[in-house]
Structure 1
Amino acid sequence: MPAYAFAHLRSRRHHPDIIEYLERVQATLDPFAGRFVIHGLPAEVVEGTWPGSMVLIEFPGLIEARAWYNSPAYQEILQLRTDHIQGDVLLIEGVEPNYDPVLRADKLRAEAQRTS
């Protein structure tokens, strides 16, 4: 099942360190089969507000996503980004290809009935 590294980058300063980070980040992803799915602006906000930009990186699974984030190669460049961009990063497992939200609704309904 795929997993994702999701970043909501709220404030950023253009700095030479960011350019270096961008030049080096793909090499840290390659050993873990990570690939950018979304990388920054523009975004069309259709509900609510969204300050900042989004990055979404796909991995074969959560094991690879964790291994990438904790890898010495990524940790070596991480501060190039975190010193100049404020944001949040999540590692999250995706859903199976045949995911059906009706099954999720059924599970939530059953849980609600047990607790009421």
Structure 2
Amino acid sequence: MPAYGFAHLRTRRHHPDVLEYLERIQGTLDPFHGRFVIHGPPAEVVEGTWSGSLVLIEFPDLTTARAWYASPAYQEILRLRTDHIEGDVLLVEGVGPHYDPRERSAKLRAEAGSPDDAPGA
């Protein structure tokens, strides 16, 4: 199942360290088959508000995503970004190609008990 490294970068600075980070990150991703899916603006906000930029990196699975983040090569460049850009980074497992949100709903209903027991019912 694919996994993703998701970053919400609230501030952006074109500091020389950040530029070096950008020049070096792909070399840390290649051994883990990581690839950029989304990298920065522009983003069209259709609901709510959003500030900053978004980065989404795909990995073959969550174990591989964790291994990339913990790798010596990535840890070596991490401060180049974190010293200059404020943000949040998450690793999250994706869903498979046959994901059906109705199955998720059924599972949540079963966990909650009867519909009368559900919050807001």
Pairwise same-fold verdict (TM > 0.5): yes
Counterpart mapping for 1:33-112 below 5 A: 33-112=33-112
Counterpart secondary structure, 1:12:
coil
Structure 2 counterpart of 1:25: 25
- Separation in structure 2 between the aligned mates of residue 23 and residue 14 of structure 1, nearest angstrom: 13
Q: If you compute each CA radius of gyration, which structure gives the higher value, 1 or 2?
A: 2
Identity across matched positions, percent = 77
Counterpart secondary structure, 2:111:
helix
- Separation in structure 1 between the aligned mates of residue 93 and residue 54 of structure 2, nearest angstrom: 17
The Cα offsets for residues 25-79 of structure 1, whole Å up to 9 and x where unpaired, read as 0000000000000000000000000110000000000111000000000000000
Structure that is richer in strand per residue = 1
Q: What is the aligned length?
A: 116
Counterpart secondary structure, 1:11:
coil
The Cα offsets for residues 10-34 of structure 1, whole Å up to 9 and x where unpaired, read as 0122200011000000000000000
- Separation in structure 2 between the aligned mates of residue 19 and residue 110 of structure 1, nearest angstrom: 49
Counterpart secondary structure, 1:84:
coil
* Structure 2 alignment gaps of length 5 or more: none
Counterpart secondary structure, 2:11:
strand
- The alignment's C-alpha RMSD in Å is 1.2
